[in-house]
Amino acid sequence: MPSKSEIRSRMRGGLIVSCQAEPELGSQLHQPEHIALIAKEVLDAGACAVRICGAANVKATRALNPKAIIIGIHKDKYDNGDVLITGTLDAAGYLIKDGADIVGLDMTKRRRPLGETSADVFWSIRKNRSFQDVPLMADLADAQEAAVAIELGVDFVATTLSGYTPDTKYRLEHAVEPFLEFMPDYDLVTDLVKKYPGFPIIAEGRWRDPRQCRDAIQKLGAFAVCVGSQVTRPRMIVRWHLKAIQEPFEDWD
């Protein structure tokens, strides 16, 4: 496993690609061998790292891409259906064992299904001798959560969950994009970069256009930017293009 300093050096100013294909969304590319091939494609094209969901997918991706930086996550759901990212020590352990260099954790203020806080899960990993040196990425939704995560000692912060928690869902109502559905949270990235100069803030969550990615790095000062659907979800990409060619031109703005 590369050192933290090497990981940061390789990721700085780069493009991370989230390679996920959920069968519940209709994808037929959800087998581990498919995910590993998608990861190889984007890595060969120049992605600095890949974000992979599920230990089996991490294992297959590592086997095909032995030198890649892999951000591993595990997805569960809260009772209300909201996504929970790597909510337990066991989930983190499986990801690390199967080849993740970084583990993404849900560091929102929501309590886990069994009542734990994000801090509880963070410390369960940090205090485990086998995992205590593994870099941790905080997936969060607002500046308050970022402050808590950075104080705890996470290695990276990503704006992944902005718009997807009860406190931030309103942001999607004001971020509608004509063809790509929703705009990314420029304001949160800007705020975090200003508040924590030098800390690796990753722009993630609805960054779908090359110009948006350019802005994240060159204008907002993000450490790196992560894209997903724009690259790895053919069904969604086709829907965006169909909407563009089927809507009357005068409706464009």
Strand duo 75-77 + 83-85: pairing: antiparallel
Kindly state the average pLDDT of the residues 230-253.
81
Residue 98 to residue 158: CA distance in whole angstroms: 22
Q: What integer pLDDT is reported at residue 250 of this predicted model?
A: 62
pLDDT in tens, 191-228: 999 999 999 999 999 999 999 999 999 999 999 999 99
Residue 207 to residue 198: CA distance in whole angstroms: 22
Residue 64 to residue 69: CA distance in whole angstroms: 12
Cα dihedral 201, 36, 98, 140 sign: positive
pTM, to two decimals: 0.94
Q: What integer pLDDT is reported at residue 249 of this predicted model?
A: 64
Q: What integer pLDDT is reported at residue 82 of this predicted model?
A: 78
Map out the domains of the chain with their CATH numbers. 4-247 (3.20.20.70)
Residue 29 to residue 234: CA distance in whole angstroms: 10
